[in-house]
Chain A
Amino acid sequence: MGLSRAHAANDTVLSTKGLTKVFGGLKAVDSLDLEVHRGEILSLIGPNGAGKTTVFNVVTGIYTPEAGEVIFDGRPITGMKPHRIVSLGIARTFQNIRLFPDMTCLENVMAGQHVRSRAGFLSSLFRTPGMRREEAQIERTAMERLSQVGLERFAHDLAKNIAYGSQRMLEIARALATEPRLLVLDEPSSGLNPKETRDLMSFLEGLIQNDDLTILLIEHDMNVVMGISDWVVVMDDGVKIAEGRPEDIYHDPLVIEAYLGRESEEG
């Protein structure tokens, strides 16, 4: 467990204040306050339909909230366009993998470098030396990210042709290529087998240790949540019902009732 990285109160990377998102008559997220601290892995858990993915979509700019604000690195990003938010340093993955299926794995990751490169229309048209240098740099960086997730041998294969587990890692590599300071992962372990899940966990642990990175994740697999989270936030019906260290959450009667309890009834 990542106990060495405490949920220190002084260094907030991302926070939401009174965040509310309404769909028709349904309050998907109801005045949510969330604080993510630098260098930690924070898991957002809760039963299906609790509003977790909606929180992600608001944070990454895909939805605009009805009320409340999102603050990243001390600056309000509420209502900003998704591509602006990526350039500020938040990258994400999707619950159901969204790659560029008919492009190669390398091109997928190179796309992540888009926000970190400058070449405009004219320099691309005339392939100026500066543009070529930048393009070479993009390719090198993308290749590094690919080998980081162990996919360098698939660099020139189409993304749609690699295995499901590899596609998950490719999506993470693409997110990392945007050089984020906050990585937002929506159920990264769903569809992975136990071994792939263990590999993913140690990969994320490694990321946090080596880079200036913070991870916010939605996760259903309790082994993952308990294994790598520094802090856990529990949502139900759009409201935060509990938060704390994973071992405390595990024994919280409210959480067991809302979430873990239901699951154990099924099992």
Chain B
Amino acid sequence: MRDLQNLSGGGLRSARLLAPLAFACLVTAYPFAVSDYLIDIGFFFGIYALLGLSLNIVLGEVGLFDLGHAGFYAIGAYVTAVLNTRYQVPVLVLMPVSCLAAALFAYLVCSPIIHLKGDYLCIVTIGMGEIVRLALINNPFDLTGGPNGVFGIDFPRVGNLLVVDSSIEYYFLVWITVGVSIAGLVSLQHSRIGRAWNCIREDAVAAQATGINVRAYKLLAFVLGAALAGAAGNIYASKLMCVSPESFTFWESCLMFCIVLIGGMGSIPGVIVGAAFISLFPEIFRPFAMYRMLVFGSIMIVMMMVRPGGFWPRKRGAVTLRPLMEDTADGAV
């Protein structure tokens, strides 16, 4: 039995653990080896990874075309900005508040549109994202500062003991959040909730006929995705110390969409690869700024032709389920 496990599960499993472990080491070591400028690029890589993970729940796991995700990101950022500058609520306290606010907004806005399919939902979410942005520009109740936005957001801090005010600290704040999110999302992938999400993506009618409450699980995906985008908004707002509507345009939603498509729908390593591409690409091509979008577009087209499933699609099958069966052996005791 022991030998059999080593043969079938052991080798593959250690290979599957190796890649994330190596990546975690790289992420940890990176800021100690490079300049502040490169650390900041690493920070934005982390922000995009977080945004990609959040959209991946909606688009990747459930297959819902959401092109207004920047709206949730904006809500998170503005809740942090407004409550911190007006009422001096600490930024770290505002992280869960931003998550909840974005989640609540998603629940209210998505409830009436959740039954829409494919491109119809896509159009409505584009509208939703744009409405959020326009509302922010119009300065409702004198809260959002109009086109100028909100200035003077504090650092995340615990009293005066721990103040996140340097590039490297922000870098770790965002990557720890990414790490925690990945741990949670991997758990969900291997649960009945993740399974239900995937079933809906594969065939919503069959999912319904198999006993899955399609509406509830779609809403859960939106709410959870929005909450994560809200967290990203919170970190982003305190890093830049100011927020303005132009950071949350339709283009931003498109970038998140690209991250999930490039990486592979429903694949967490894929999201990381996609986020790396989106955030590092402009830096690498900075000297050729003129041709940047041309190259970017061409890469997207070639990518979709050569690997329509994404760069790193989620693998299913024997390998995926092996650890689960070993859980069984432990759990039975």
Q: Say whether A82 faces chain B, with CB atoms less than 8 Å apart.
A: yes
Cβ contact within 8 Å between B212 and A114 = yes
Interface residues on A, range: 35 or more
In the complex, what's the smallest C-beta–C-beta distance from B188 to chain A, in angstroms?
Answer: 6
A124 contact from B192, B212, B330, Cβ within 8 A? B192
Cβ contact within 8 Å between A178 and B210 = yes
Which of the 9-residue segments A64-72, A103-111, A222-230 touches chain B? A103-111
Residues in chain A near residue B199, CB distance under 8 A? 100, 103, 111, 114
Residues 302-333 of B, flagged 1 when their CB comes within 8 A of A and 0 if not, give: 00000000000000111011001101101110
Which of A101, A106, A178 has most chain B Cβ within 10 Å?
A106
Q: Say whether B95 faces chain A, with CB atoms less than 8 Å apart.
A: no
State in angstroms the CA–CA spacing of A139 and B195 once bound together: 12
- Tell me which residues from 70 to 108 in chain A have a Cβ below 8 Å from any Cβ of chain B: 81-83, 86-87, 91-92, 94, 98-104, 106-107
Cβ contact within 8 Å between A99 and B203 = yes
Cβ contact within 8 Å between B327 and A135 = yes
- Tell me which residues from 95 to 118 in chain B have a Cβ below 8 Å from any Cβ of chain A: none
Which of B192, B196, B327, B328 has most chain A Cβ within 10 Å?
B192
Cβ contact within 8 Å between A83 and B198 = no
Residues in chain A near residue B220, CB distance under 8 A? 121
Cβ contact within 8 Å between A98 and B211 = no
Cβ contact within 8 Å between B202 and A101 = yes
- Tell me which residues from 107 to 158 in chain A have a Cβ below 8 Å from any Cβ of chain B: 107, 110-115, 117, 119, 121, 124-127, 129, 131-133, 135-136, 138-140, 156-158
In the complex, what's the smallest C-beta–C-beta distance from A55 to chain B, in angstroms?
Answer: 15
Q: Say whether A207 faces chain B, with CB atoms less than 8 Å apart.
A: no
Residues in chain A near residue B196, CB distance under 8 A? 111, 114
- Tell me which residues from 168 to 216 in chain A have a Cβ below 8 Å from any Cβ of chain B: 174-175, 178
Summarize B's interface: helix, strand, loop or mixed. Answer: helix
In the complex, what's the smallest C-beta–C-beta distance from A92 to chain B, in angstroms?
Answer: 5
Residues in chain B near residue A242, CB distance under 8 A? none
Cβ contact within 8 Å between A114 and B317 = no
The verdict on A83 contacting B192 (CB below 8 Å), with A103-B199, A139-B328, A158-B317 known, is no
Q: Say whether B208 faces chain A, with CB atoms less than 8 Å apart.
A: yes
Additional A-B contacts beyond A83-B214, A138-B192, A175-B210 (7; CB < 8 A)? A82-B211, A91-B211, A100-B199, A102-B198, A111-B196, A114-B212, A124-B193
Give B residues with C-beta under 8 Å from A. Answer: 184, 187-188, 190-196, 198-199, 202-203, 205-214, 220, 316-318, 320-321, 324-325, 327-328, 330-332
Give A residues with C-beta under 8 Å from B. Answer: 60, 62, 81-83, 86-87, 91-92, 94, 98-104, 106-107, 110-115, 117, 119, 121, 124-127, 129, 131-133, 135-136, 138-140, 156-158, 174-175, 178
A-B contact pairs, 17 of them (CB 8 A): A62-B208, A94-B206, A100-B206, A100-B207, A101-B203, A102-B198, A103-B202, A107-B316, A111-B196, A113-B192, A114-B199, A115-B210, A119-B191, A136-B324, A136-B331, A136-B332, A156-B321
